[in-house]
Amino acid sequence: MRDLMGLMGKAKEMQAKFQALQEEMAQMKIEGQAAGGSVTVTLSGKSEMKGLKIDPSLFKEDDVEILEDLILAAHNDAKSKLEAAMQEKTQEMTAGLPIPPGMKLPF
């Protein structure tokens, strides 16, 4: 019974840590770039686009499709950086726990 109480205590502790991690991640801002910084996208920790900067030299009528592709590339760059940061934070928090391989946290 004592082991069960200890397990429950650890579960509550982990829940509090995950909640703190989610709050920290929500406050993060990650930038992704394309074309050497000509297009920059800023995402929140919730993957919401919070900013978009485009170098004025890219505004040419014939290059609209290129600009659209650069915006998508910058967004994808920011999103992959955000996912990597979230994975790193989660691994730091769960270090030493016997979690099966491939299991993603938070659930």
Would the pLDDT of 91 be above 70? yes
Report the amino acid identity of residue 94.
T
63: confidence class by pLDDT, cuts 50, 70, 90: confident
Q: What is the mean pLDDT of residues 75-98?
A: 82
3-class secondary structure, 51: strand
Whether the ω angle into residue 106 lies within 30 degrees of 0, i.e. cis, is yes
pTM for this model (two decimals)? 0.59
Would the pLDDT of 7 be above 80? no
Per DSSP, 60 falls in state -
Top pLDDT among 9 and 55 is at 55
**Residue 13's beta-bridge partner residues?**
none
14: confidence class by pLDDT, cuts 50, 70, 90: confident
Burial (0-12, 13-18, 19+ Cβ within 10 Å), 31: middle
